[in-house]
Amino acid sequence: MGGGARVGIVLVSHSAAVATAVAALARGLAGGGEAPVAAAGGTEDGGLGTSSELISRAAAEVDQGCGVALLVDLGSAVLTVKAMLAEGDELPERARLVDAPFVEGAVAAYVTASAGGDLDAVVAAAAEAYQYRKE
At 1, is the pLDDT very low, low, confident or very high (cuts 50, 70, 90)? very low
Where are any strands of DSSP class E within 19-94?
37-41, 68-72
- Asked if the structure places residue 3 within a domain, the reply is no
Q: Crossing angle of helices 119-128/102-114, nearest 10°?
A: 150
pLDDT digits (tens, 9 = 90+) for 48-97: 999 999 999 999 999 999 999 999 999 899 999 999 999 988 999 999 99
Instruction: Check which CATH number belongs to the domain holding 106 and give it.
Output: 3.40.50.510
Q: Crossing angle of helices 16-29/102-114, nearest 10°?
A: 40
- Asked if the structure places residue 134 within a domain, the reply is no
pLDDT for position 97: 98
Domain total in the chain: 1
- Give residue 113's domain range: 8-129
- Strand order across the 68-72 sheet: 37-41, 8-13, 68-72, 95-98
The model carries a pTM of 0.94
Distance (Å, whole) CA 89 – CA 70: 15
Strand-pair category, 37-41 with 8-13: parallel
- Asked if the structure places residue 135 within a domain, the reply is no
